[in-house]
Amino acid sequence: MFDRFDIFFVQQLVNGFSVGLVYALVAIGFTLIFGVLNVVNFAHGEIYMIGAYAGLMALIFLAPPWVALLLIVLAAGIVAGVLLERAAFKPFRRFRDEASLKSKAMRESTLLSSLAVSIIVREATEKIFGADMRPIPRAYANALQEPILIGELAVASGQLVILGAAIVMFLTLQFILFRTQIGLSIRAVAANPLGAQYVGVNVDRTVIATFAIGSGMGAVAGILIGLYQGTIFPAMGFAPGVKAFVAMVMGGLNSIPGAVICAIFLGVSEAVATEFFAQGWADLVAYLFLVLTLIFFPTGLFGAGRERV
């Protein structure tokens, strides 16, 4: 009897781990954009949703092979990210002096504008595609919901795909950030936008590149998770967006590895919480962690020291 219980518990941990990876996929793009612009992009959840819808449309009308599907979604995410940057962030970067780059009003106006854009995009999607959940075509959905037995543990093939995607995305991002020219300029702008400009970095182009990379990753996460969960709906970005947000804050706001670790930790602790409490109360866990982190570790668990929080 005890070993049955244990295997069930381990199964829960595995499921929690894969939920955590879902949060991590969203959190990577989120954190990248925060690290550079020092603003929170509230529309990231909507990019994720756009990725899922772009993928769904491609599946219905083109039925492309897997690689082509991912490329289409990546392209859609990049386009959406660049448009988002143009609409919600560019207008507020016309002031370039140090005082306004650091000013509170500046940061909060981009926060509000990205919030407004996210509302517009979500509601427009609802008007166009309807608010209800749309199922994924069966042929594709089945491929990600194939159960694979490892010993007594059942793992869906989608969970492995998400694990793979998270690893690939994380490594790609680390490669881009630390081994390429654009990564160097991203890190330079993140460290000091004005200084980067003085040494000849094109700040505008760097910011757009950051948005393109972060949003492309968000969109791919959206279609993978939509396929794995089997349904897609306009509000799908909200819950993972908030959880990714929590993971980002816990991880220290500009540390990508920290965000990934915290996202996985969050997923696992939610799964453990469902073990002991009703499903509804388990939502409390993420917010509890958020508030506790902000109060006791204001710089996050893995963050470097910052001036003030």
Instruction: Out of 75, 168, 291, 304, name the contact with other proteins by CB under 8 A.
Output: 291
Stretch that binds other proteins, among 15-23, 132-140, 174-182, 287-295 (CB under 8 A): 287-295
Binding residues with other proteins: total (CB under 8 A):
38
Instruction: Out of 24, 25, 27, 40, name the contact with other proteins by CB under 8 A.
Output: 40
Strands (E) in the chain, as ranges, are 134-135, 147-150, 153-156, 231-232
State the Cα angle at 216 between 210 and 221, rounded to 5°. Answer: 130
Residue closer to other proteins (CB basis): 126 or 170? 126
Cα→Cα distances 200→178, 197, 205, Å:
19, 5, 12
Cα→Cα distances 61→107, 125, 134, Å:
41, 18, 15
* 119 is a site residue for other proteins (CB under 8 A): yes
Residue closer to other proteins (CB basis): 183 or 214? 214
Distance (Å, whole) CA 102 – CA 121:
28
Stretch that binds other proteins, among 77-85, 120-128, 158-166, 219-227 (CB under 8 A): 120-128
**Amino acid symbol at 51:** G
**Nearest CA to 249 among 213, 306, 193, 291?**
291
Instruction: Out of 113, 159, 206, 215, name the contact with other proteins by CB under 8 A.
Output: 113
Site residues (CB under 8 A) for other proteins, limited to 245-284: 245-246, 249, 278, 280-281, 283-284
Beta bridge partners of 232: 134
Instruction: Out of 108, 146, 204, 275, name the contact with other proteins by CB under 8 A.
Output: 108
Q: Where do we find the tokens 């690939």?
A: 168
Instruction: Out of 101, 111, 154, 176, name the contact with other proteins by CB under 8 A.
Output: 111
Q: What is the C-alpha radius of gyration for the chain, rounded to an integer number of angstroms?
A: 20
Residues found near other proteins in the complex (CB under 8 A):
40, 87-88, 91, 104, 107-109, 111-113, 115-120, 123-124, 127, 242, 245-246, 249, 278, 280-281, 283-284, 287-288, 290-291, 294-295, 298, 308-309
